[in-house]
C-alpha cells in the first residue's frame, strides 16, 4: 500500500480554504489547512508535508515569501 500524500493548504479566505480542501480530500489526498503563514510554519515544524499550496499573499509571516 502506498503512503498517502500530505498537502498543507494555506489560504486566508475560509470559504476558499474549505472548498479547496474538500476537493483535494475527494481526490484522495490527506490535507492539513492553515489560515495564515504563521500557522503553516508551525505545522511544517511538526509534521511531514509533501506539498505546500498557499495563496499568493501570505499574511502574518513575511518569511513565506522567501
* pLDDT tens sequence across 34-65: 999 899 999 999 999 999 999 876 555 555 54
Ramachandran area for residue 52 (φ above 0: left; ψ -120 to 50: alpha; else beta): beta
Beta bridge partners of residue 7, listed in sequence order: 31, 51
Q: CATH number of the domain at 6-65, out of 3.10.580.10, 3.10.450.50, 3.10.20.30, 3.40.50.2300?
A: 3.40.50.2300
pTM (predicted TM-score): 0.80
Given a cut of 50, is residue 24 above it in pLDDT?
yes
Amino acid at each position: 500500500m502506498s503512503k498517502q500524500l500530505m498537502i498543507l493548504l494555506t489560504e486566508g479566505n475560509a470559504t476558499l480554504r474549505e472548498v479547496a480542501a474538500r476537493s483535494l480530500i475527494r481526490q484522495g489526498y490527506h490535507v492539513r489547512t492553515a489560515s495564515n503563514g504563521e500557522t503553516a510554519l508551525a505545522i511544517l515544524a511538526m509534521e511531514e508535508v509533501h506539498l505546500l499550496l498557499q495563496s499568493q499573499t501570505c499574511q502574518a509571516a513575511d518569511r513565506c515569501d522567501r
